[in-house]
Amino acid sequence: MAIVPADRETGMDTKAGIRAAMLTKRDSLAPERRIDMSLAMAEAAEAVAFEPGTVIAGYLPIRSEPDLRPMMARFAQRGARLCLPVVLDRQTIVFREFIRGAELVDTGFGTSGPGPEATVLDPDLLMMPLSAFDDAGNRLGYGAGHYDRAIARLRAKGRTPRLIGTAFSIQRVDALPAEAHDVPLEMILTEQGLRSFSQGV
């Protein structure tokens, strides 16, 4: 399938226009197709290298997002310590430990996750949702800036988490408008496989 530049595809080159167009594309996928693509992503994620004990942040799907639960289960089997994002207020997310069997609660913006009794962790690796991505590793989120602020907060503490975007391949555009504060992805995971931007493959 040919990919056209974002401004030609959406009729505009603004982040809001690209976001709306790509999320509409994602929403158009049949639920059964999203399940198959999510399972393919779990298979491809076996190529993500990490040591046992690594803290990995995933997320539970809302709307038409990829379902990372099969992937996270595999990560746990490989020794990862899992956590999920939780919206504390309209500006801040933290990452609470995700333990199998623990009760999940409403954590804001339609998401669910561990309750306040769960341990707050600093991720070593972030599996990040997005609305669009390009071949330079630029990521377009949902507009609230939660992950941008979380990454800045982690870096202020001296931590440099690895950033892996998670999306379906139809969310790719030729180029995204990038700003100085935007942090590029290290890798992108789609149903077509895991791609490293730092290595150019």
Q: Which residues are annotated as a binding site?
A: 15-19, 60, 65, 139-147
Q: How far apart are CA 147 and CA 143, in angstroms?
A: 10
In 3D, which of 42, 43, 37 has the Cα closest to residue 191? 37
**Binding site members for ATP:** 15-19, 139-147
Cα–Cα distance measured from residue 64 to residue 142, given in angstroms and rounded to the nearest whole number: 13
What is the C-alpha to C-alpha distance for residues 30 and 138, in angstroms, rounded to an integer? 27
Tell me if residue 126 falls in helix, strand or coil: strand
Name beta bridge partners: 121: 95
Binding residues for substrate: 60, 65
Do the Cβ atoms of 176 and 3 come closer than 8 Å? Answer: no
CA distance 141 to 41: 19
